[in-house]
Amino acid sequence: MITICYNIYMDNYEDFISTVSHELRTPLTSIRGFSQTMLNSWDKLDDESKQKFLKIIEEQSNRLIGLVENMLSVTKLQCTNLILKEVSVKPVVNTIVSLIKNSYQNHQFFVEINENINKILADRDKFQQVLMNLVENAAKYSAENSHIIISAENCGDFVSIKVVSTGVGIDEADYERIFEKFSRVDNPLTRKVEGSGLGLFITKNLVEKMDGKIAVESENGVTTFEVLMPVSNIEQQARSKCAQ
């Protein structure tokens, strides 16, 4: 089973191993360094420094956990059996927003979803993971106090879910690249925030496994990620046209 799962990397397996090793080594080196300093110089350190070092160890441990979880998700992508069911979009969006709000209390989140929105055919957990990645990115790569809008509307055989944020923006030249494994856009903000560059790779793969589509557009710092998810029951679908 594991061999099959690893097929995803067979094209550039060595690149994958070296990138993973590097990504793991950075937080581990920092955890080891700060814990050694604390053990060797405990009596010489003031409380403020101890607090600061422990905070770094905690942050780097969280980074490591996030990284390992993302890598497991990537590994499982080819093996995951999806459980496709009828899913209501709004409750999932509300759950994600309330989770993300805890970590990004200075952002303002707006959910714009009408009651007449069609149900989608999706694996609830995976759809939740997709939204989690997109909304978390929207918060991570935008300015404090900025607005994040999550909207959904019927769009023929699909439901269109958009996550809009204002921040660093993405150059058109990077639209495709950001969905590749370990790819991050190099700018002052991405350098400041932690990330492994796996989130959108996982997101795109999950969306496509559920027969959906994902696209990005960014203009004047306003970035929109749009996910199109298939409607659960084609007969029921609203005959609405995509808003242009």
Q: 8-47: which residues touch ligand ATP (CB under 6 A)?
A: none
Q: 61-90: which residues touch ligand ATP (CB under 6 A)?
A: 66, 70
> Is 200 a binder of ligand ATP (CB under 6 A)?
yes
Count Cβ neighbours within 10 Å for each residue of 7-16 and write b for 16 or more, e otherwise: ebbeeeeeeb
Residues linked to residue 166 through DSSP beta bridges, in sequence order? 222
Q: Are strands 108-113 and 147-155 parallel, antiparallel or unpaired?
A: parallel
Q: 102-161: which residues touch ligand ATP (CB under 6 A)?
A: 133, 137-138, 141
Instruction: Count Cα neighbours of 115 within 13 Å in the Cβ-side half-sphere.
Output: 0
Contact residues toward Mg ion (CB under 5 A) are 137, 199
Q: Which does 190 bind (CB under 5 to 8 A by kind): Mg ion, ligand ATP, none?
A: ligand ATP
Q: Which of 168, 209, 211, 238 binds ligand ATP (CB under 6 A)?
A: 168
> Is 205 a binder of ligand ATP (CB under 6 A)?
no
Q: Which residue has the tokens 């994600």?
A: 96
Stretch that binds ligand ATP, among 39-47, 106-114, 167-175, 226-234 (CB under 6 A): 167-175
Q: Which of 73, 104, 199, 237 binds ligand ATP (CB under 6 A)?
A: 199
* Integer CA distances (angstroms), 151 to 81, 93, 109, in order: 28, 9, 11
- Nearer CB in complex with ligand ATP: 133/232: 133
> Is 5 a binder of ligand ATP (CB under 6 A)?
no
Q: Which does 221 bind (CB under 5 to 8 A by kind): Mg ion, ligand ATP, none?
A: none
SS3 for 166?
Answer: strand
* Min CB(88)–Mg ion separation in Å: 25
Nearest by Cα to 108 from 136, 139, 145:
145
Q: Which tokens sit at 89? A: 């979009």
Nearest by Cα to 183 from 171, 199, 204:
199
- Nearer CB in complex with ligand ATP: 69/157: 69
* Min CB(91)–ligand ATP separation in Å: 23
Nearest by Cα to 8 from 192, 180, 231:
180
SS3 for 118?
Answer: coil
Contact, 21 vs 71, CB < 8 A?
A: no
> Is 212 a binder of ligand ATP (CB under 6 A)?
no
Q: Which does 154 bind (CB under 5 to 8 A by kind): ligand ATP, Mg ion, none?
A: none
In the complex, the residues that contact ligand ATP under the rule CB under 6 A are 66, 70, 133, 137-138, 141, 165, 167-168, 170, 178, 184-185, 190, 195-201, 223
